[in-house]
A and B are shown apart, each in its own frame.
Chain A
Amino acid sequence: MSLFKNLSNGIVKENPVFALYLGLCSVLAVSNSINNALGMSVAVIIVLTVSNVIIAAMRKIIPNDIRIPVYIVVIATLVKIVEMLMQAYTPELFTALGVFIPLIVVNCIILGRAEAYASKNTVGASFIDGIGMGLGYTAGIFMLAAIRQLLATGGLNLVNPFNQFVFFDITLIPSEFTIPLFAQPAGAFITFAVLAALLEVYKQSGSKPVKKGA
C-alpha cells in the first residue's frame, strides 16, 4: 500500500510541476504540442528512473562531501546517452525538442530527487519514486500541452516518433475560433498560472473535511 501511496504522492500532492514548481523551463517551452510533451516526458522518466536507481545503488560508496559532483556526472552521462539515442531513432522529435534535451541535465527535478530521495532510500523505493515523479511531470506537461494545443490550433494530433505513423489527428475547434495567443509565451504563462491555482484549490478543499469532523 505504501508503494502505491508513494507513487500517487508524486502525481498529485507533490506534483513536481504544479506543486513544487521544479523543471519549469522545459515544461513551459515544450508544451506547444502533445507530441513534443509526451516525447519530452518519456525522456525525463527514463533519465529520472535510471539515475535514481544508479545513485541509490551507489549511495553507500559515494563520500558524503562530494555527492553533488558525482550526481551531476551520472546524470550528464545518462542525458547524453538518451540524446544520442533520440538523435538516431527519433530524428523528427529530436529536432522539435532541440536544445531542451541536453537541458534535462539541469532540470531541477532530477537532481532534486537524487539529493532528497535516492541518496537515502533503497534501490526499489527510489525506482518507484522516480516513476511517480516522472508520471507527475508527464501529467503536468500533458495537461498544459493539451490545453495549449487545443486552444491555439483547434486540434490534437499524435504521431509515432519512430516511424511517423499518425495515431490520431482530430480537429475539435474550427479554425475561426482558435486563440493563437496560447501558442506564444504569454499563453503558456497564463495556462500554467490557472492550472497551478486549480491544484491549489484542490489541495485546500481536500483538507477542509478534517476541520469539519472535529
Chain B
Amino acid sequence: MELFSLFISAIFINNIILNRFLGMCPFMGVSRKTSSALGMGGAVTFVIFFSSIITFGLYTYILEPFNLQYMDLITFILIIASFVQLVEMIIKKFSPSLYKSLGIFLPLITTNCAVLFVALENIKQGFNFTETVVYALAVPIGFTLVLIIFSSIRERLDIADVPQALKGNPVAMIVAAIMALAFSGLAGLV
C-alpha cells in the first residue's frame, strides 16, 4: 500500500512540474502541439525510468562500497548523458519511425532538471529498489499528464486574443498557476 501512495503522490500531489517546478524549460518550449507533447512525455518516461535504475545500481554497488559518495553528482549526470546518447544512436539505427516521434526530443532531455532530480532523490530518500522503480515511473507519468493538458490548452490559447505583453510565455505561466491551484486541491488524497 505504501508503494501505491508513493505512486499517487508523485503524480498528483508532488507533481514534478506544478509543485516542484522541475522540467520547466521544455515545458515552455515543447508544449505547443499535443502530438509533440506526447512524444516528449514518452521520451522523458523512457529516459527517467531506465537512467534511475542504472544510477541506483551504480550508487549502491560501486560508489557506496568504495566510499565515493561525493562523486554522486558527477557520476549521475555523466551516466544520464551517456545513456541518452546511446539510446539515440540505437533508435537512429533501428527504428526511423520511433526516431521521428521520440528520438528528436532526446537531446533536450539530457539537461532536464527532472531526470537528475529523480536520480538524486532516490538516493536522498533512501529508497530500496522497488520504491526506486515506482518513483521513477510515477514522476514522468505526472510530467506527461501535465504536459498533455497544458498543450491542449495552449493550442487554443495561441489563437485567442491575448494582450500583447502577455503573449507567449507569460500567459502560459498564468495557465500553469491555475493548474497548480487545481492540483493542490488533491493534497488530501493520501
Contact = CB atoms under 8 A, between A and B. Distances in A.
Q: Do A and B come from one complex?
A: yes
B171 A193 contact: yes
B38 interface: no
Interface string A176-200: 0000000011111110111011101
Interface of A: 21-22, 24-26, 28-29, 69, 72-73, 76-77, 79-80, 83-84, 99, 102-103, 105-106, 108, 111, 184-190, 192-194, 196-198, 200-201, 204
B73 A99 contact: no
Interface of B: 18-25, 28, 70-71, 73-74, 77-78, 81, 111-113, 116-117, 120-121, 124, 164-166, 169-171, 173-174, 176-178, 180-181, 184
B18 to A, nearest CB: 6
A143 to B, nearest CB: 15
Given A193-B174, A200-B170, 14 more contacts: A22-B25, A24-B24, A24-B25, A29-B21, A29-B22, A72-B78, A77-B74, A80-B70, A102-B116, A103-B117, A106-B112, A189-B177, A193-B166, A198-B165
Contacts of B21: 24-25, 28-29, 185, 188
A168 B76 CA distance: 40
A108 B173 CA distance: 18
Q: Chain A at the B interface: mostly helix, strand, loop or mixed?
A: helix
Q: Chain B at the A interface: mostly helix, strand, loop or mixed?
A: helix
Could you say which of B23, B70, B173, B184 has the most chain A C-beta atoms within 10 Å of its C-beta? B173
A106 B111 contact: yes
Contact of B173 (A76, A84, A190): A190
27 contacts: A21-B25, A22-B25, A24-B28, A25-B23, A29-B22, A77-B74, A79-B73, A80-B70, A99-B124, A106-B111, A184-B184, A185-B19, A185-B21, A186-B180, A186-B181, A186-B184, A187-B177, A189-B180, A190-B173, A193-B171, A196-B170, A200-B164, A200-B165, A200-B166, A200-B170, A201-B165, A204-B165
